[in-house]
Amino acid sequence: MSDADDSQHRLPSLAHACICLLGLLLWIAFGLFILKAALHGVLMLGLVWVAANALLLAPSYSKIREAMLSGASRAMPAMFIFLLIGIVIVTFIQAGTIGTLIYYGLEFMHPGIVLPTGLILCSLMSLAVGTSWGTVATGGIVLLGVGGAMGIPLPIIAGMVISGASFGDKMSPISDTTNLSALSAETDLYQHIRSMAYTTGPTYLIVLILFSWIGWGYADQALPQERLDVLLVGLEQAFTINIFMLLPLVVLFALAMKRVPAEAAMMISSLTAGVMAMIFQDQSMAQVVTGFYDGATVVTNVETLDTLLNRGGIVDMSWTYTLAVIAISLGAILEKFGFLRVPLEFFLQRIKRRGALVASTILTAFASNLAIAESYISIILTGQLYKKSFDDQGLDRSVLSRSLEEGSTLLTALIPWTTTGVFYAATLGVPTIEYIQWSFLNWMNPLIGILFACLGIGMFRKKTDSENNVPAQ
């Protein structure tokens, strides 16, 4: 907030700011857990509460509207990406890209490698579609059935699925949380992904080794080939399956490596997938174009697969899109009128070291998840809280965005009452409390992030015009 902005309204006192924030958190907790109301409605009334508090400071309502419009303007690139994510998902399904990933993953599985193979499969699927929820609801269910039939405990399989799905959701350039974290920290999307690689890469290798070691203990279990055959035949009947069907995924990754803007990369890979759907999967142009909004329509004659593959499209992203509109407006008011800055400046005076700042960011995002039960809001609010502190410490905003993902995107899956925790438990049929210890990536990555921060690893300096990003000394 600039001095010019401050002159237009009073800043809240510390007591007023704390009352506003505490009232917001208590209302959201009450609305979600006691009333069991829809999150959008609860957050909308939260927006009214925050706006009412801002009216006590603003000379007119127009200043509140300006704050919301300013927040929406900054968020428009990510909001457009939310819509493109739905298009990428549906076209990748129509082209047979997702079906091919599932097919090859199932065909080459062996009991001794089902856990590491499943981890890699879920990681690739989540990278391709940019959503852990979609991966858990597709490949996750298949892997749970296959692994369970082999005698592998379901909580271990669930932990493996969630670890792989969370990795892709965290690292994919088309993930909503990845884009939202970059947006909240106001950093470049690809710089955000590169920053995450410093902590997520080593964590992933450790997790892969752990699941390989655990999985080897089940190497002598019998593979239920007859159950796999039903799924494989269903996929063969619905799609043309061959390695060439992975081209849209290759195009997406190649464009990302070339640092092509995310919107262009997603649209080009989607168009590639759409053309392939018409050429190889007997999809008409009308079906492909209609699917942009409505999602995929797949008939495999296997109920499980039909449920898994009929999704995507703009309509599938409407929940995230509309929630982001409300949350960003709320966050913009909190930031503009100092409700976040005043208490933050009071508490951050005690944080002098960069490692402590990163640890505090991760723990704040986690605490927000505990209280608010929704990672999207946690990412936005925590990002608003800590931007100035990272600037003051001379740290690049990508370190902030990385910490947001580690404290929010990953840890939300381990909280039984968050939307993500509830979804995973219901979809996989494994209680959250049972898969927590096996979701290695989700709880190890934040710990490694804090450790690396304390050691000064991957702590990038704030960019200047005359230098590139290099680790801070």
- Residue 5 pLDDT: 45
- Residue 372 pLDDT: 65
In degrees and rounded to multiples of 5, residue 464 shows phi and psi of -120, 170
**How big is the chain, counted in residues?**
473
pLDDT digits (tens, 9 = 90+) for 224-271: 677 778 888 998 999 999 999 999 988 987 887 777 887 888 899 999
| Cβ neighbours around 417 below 10 Å, total | 13
Q: Amino acid letter at 71?
A: G
CA atoms within 13 A on the CB side of 200: 25
**Who contacts 3 (Cβ-Cβ below 8 Å, separation ≥6)?**
none
What is residue 130's three-state secondary structure?
Answer: coil
- Residue 436 pLDDT: 94
**Distance between CA atoms of 374 and 352, rounded to whole angstroms?**
29
Mean per-residue pLDDT of the chain: 84
Task: Give the residue, 75 or 241, on which the prediction is more confident.
Answer: 241
Percent above pLDDT 70 for the chain: 92
**Distance between CA atoms of 97 and 92, rounded to whole angstroms?**
5
- Residue 356 pLDDT: 87
377, 338 in Cβ contact below 8 A?
no
- Residue 177 pLDDT: 87
pLDDT band at 16 (very low <50, low <70, confident <90, very high): very high
DSSP readout, 267-309? HHHHHHHHHHHHHHS---HHHHHHHHHH------S-HHHHHHH
pLDDT digits (tens, 9 = 90+) for 425-464: 877 888 888 999 999 999 999 999 999 999 988 888 876 5
Task: Give the residue, 353 or 131, on which the prediction is more confident.
Answer: 353
Task: Give the residue, 161 or 2, on which the prediction is more confident.
Answer: 161
What is residue 66's three-state secondary structure?
Answer: helix
pLDDT digits (tens, 9 = 90+) for 77-109: 767 877 887 898 899 999 998 888 778 867 777
Residue 223 has pLDDT above 70, yes or no: no
182, 401 in Cβ contact below 8 A?
yes
Residue 304 has pLDDT above 80, yes or no: no
What average pLDDT does the segment 271-279 reach?
A: 96
Task: Give the residue, 48 or 328, on which the prediction is more confident.
Answer: 48
For residue 340, with 0-12 CB atoms within 10 Å meaning exposed, 13-18 middle and 19 or more buried, which class applies?
buried
- Residue 3 pLDDT: 39
**Distance between CA atoms of 426 and 135, rounded to whole angstroms?**
14
- Residue 95 pLDDT: 94
pLDDT digits (tens, 9 = 90+) for 17-63: 999 989 988 998 898 789 988 878 988 999 999 999 999 998 788 98
- Residue 82 pLDDT: 73
Residue 202 has pLDDT above 90, yes or no: yes
**Distance between CA atoms of 206 and 440, rounded to whole angstroms?**
9
